[in-house]
Amino acid sequence: MTDDALHRACLQSLTSGVAIVEPEDWRIRFENARFFQWFPPTEEDEDALAGRLPDLDADRARERLAKRGVYDFETQVRVGAREISLRIEIRRQDEGPDGPFLLVECVDASKQKEAEYMLDSYSRMVEKNTRELKREKERVEKLLLNIMPRSVYEEMKDFGTTTPQRFDEATVLMLDFVDFTEMAISRDPGALIAELNDIFSAFDRIVELFGCERIKTIGDAYLAVSGLPEANPDHAASIARVALRMRRYMEKRNASRPTQWLCRIGICTGPLIGSLVGIQKYVYDVFGPAVNLAARMESFAEPMQIALVAETQAHLRDHFHTREIGEFDIKGFGTQQVFALEGEIPRAS
């Protein structure tokens, strides 16, 4: 077998398609079996490369070959019922036994395309899962921040546990509604809870506005504090402003609705302990005599009245209008002087 015949036999045995093309008129001088299978000749011009290769931009190919000596592109062909992707490279060869020629090489890139598609699909799936995990994390964080202060949440997230903290100066607000039990029995439960949720949502906005913390709701009772978990030298004034705006909100709401919601508010100042309690169900709660005494003040208050103890009144008397209600013997706390919070003294401009 001559060298030329041996070269042709080798080219015919390749799994890639190979063609040798005239550089002047781009007519096919030689093609192996694979090239013929992928790009069978047409009746119009069976030897013209441009007529055999779909997606070949002949003008662009000549420009690239003149500048760089190589031009490549991708196309797809159908072989039987299967569609395959081909990567085609046309390279100029200046030296050959019969003068310069163009070497056209076609490689089956279907498996690589499938791998790229699978990788792209996997990347999209990972991105989707990452977004879903991010949304779920944000949802869980939002839920946890509804039951504990952010600083407590951050500590639990970083260390897996929280340390109970003592706060020497804090003020507690306890709010309750008059005759709520009777309302719950006599009214449609869905409508009642919808109204209560609407009211508590407004209270949450008021509490947040003045930098306080809503600790929890127990039925129709609402508990908020100022001075924890971040220290606040104006804790009593902040809670007083919260209480006044809660009462103002309820007055405006009652003026525009047939159902009257009358609240009682108790305020007390004193040391507190704040801690996360529970193992399977977390609850952030506060403990201390100030919580119990605020609840006692709430029970002493008249409907739509804000009652507070003398210690709290001492923090407020320079900036708020208060009125003495009287002295009362309060279980567990002895005789206590009780005041009503009337309003805030306007500040001089």
Domains, the chain, in order of start with CATH, read 3-108 (3.30.450.20), 162-344 (3.30.70.1230)
Q: Is 97 exposed, middle or buried (0-12, 13-18, 19+ CB in 10 A)?
A: exposed
pLDDT at 6: 66
Judge whether 111 and 23 are in contact, CB under 8 Å.
no
pLDDT at 348: 52
pLDDT at 278: 65
Number of separate helices (H) and strands (E) present in the chain: 11, 13
Q: Is 308 exposed, middle or buried (0-12, 13-18, 19+ CB in 10 A)?
A: buried
The Cα–Cα gap between 161 and 98 comes to 83
DSSP state of 217: E
Q: What is the dihedral of CA 108, 110, 115, 119, to 10 degrees?
A: 120
Q: Is the pTM of this model over 0.75?
A: no
The Cα–Cα gap between 239 and 257 comes to 27
Instruction: Give the distance from CA 263 to its chain's centroid.
Output: 36
E strand map for the chain: 17-21, 28-31, 70-79, 82-93, 101-108, 165-177, 213-218, 221-226, 263-277, 283-287, 305-309, 320-330, 334-344
Q: 165-177 and 28-31: which strand pairing?
A: unpaired
Helix (H, G, I), strand (E, B) or coil at 227: coil
- The neighbour count for residue 22, using CB atoms within 10 Å, is 16
pLDDT at 349: 46
How confident is the chain (349 residues) per 10-residue block, as mean pLDDT?
64 81 86 86 74 83 87 85 86 79 87 81 86 82 70 68 79 90 74 87 92 86 88 90 94 87 92 75 79 88 91 90 87 85 78
Q: Is 87 exposed, middle or buried (0-12, 13-18, 19+ CB in 10 A)?
A: middle
